[in-house]
Amino acid sequence: MAKTVQERSAKAAQKRLAVAEKELRHKVRPGIEQAMDRIRARGKTPIISEVLQIAIMKMDLMPDDELITFLSYPRHEIMISENVARELHNESVRELKRKPGDEIIAPVIDQQTR
């Protein structure tokens, strides 16, 4: 005799408890989802959770310095040159003269960055 949906669900729940399985949820934006689809296709692995588990196991085997480098997100440092800062200030002053009423504050130029 075939098992009912409730019986199958109960058996699956018991299995999850027996192996201490835990469900993790993570929200991603479309770009990450597209990247995951490309990785799954390249690795010929149909299940996303399997790809993630393999990636986590491989990262766990990396030495600390390699893992830190791997997990560091590329950041861009924005440096405003003195010429650009001066031009922004001059443009602000021109705009304030055109529409008076706001206070003019001179920019602070750090002498160490020259």
The amino acid occupying position 51 is V
Q: Is residue 108 part of a domain?
A: no
Sign of CA dihedral 69, 73, 74, 80: negative
Q: Which domain holds residue 17?
A: 12-68
Q: Quick check: 40 and 51 in contact, CB under 8 A?
A: yes
Q: In the chain, how many domains are there?
A: 1
CA distances from 63 to 8, 57, 67, 71, 90 (A): 43, 13, 6, 12, 51
Separation CA 25–CA 95 (nearest Å): 50
Does some domain include residue 81?
no
The answer to the question of residue 42 being in a domain is: yes
Per-residue pLDDT of the chain (114 residues; tens, 9 = 90+): 788 899 899 998 898 888 888 888 888 888 888 999 999 999 998 888 899 999 999 999 999 999 999 999 878 888 889 999 999 989 988 888 887 766 666 777 766 655
Verdict on whether the full-model pTM lies above 0.75: no
* Residue 86 belongs to some domain of the structure: no
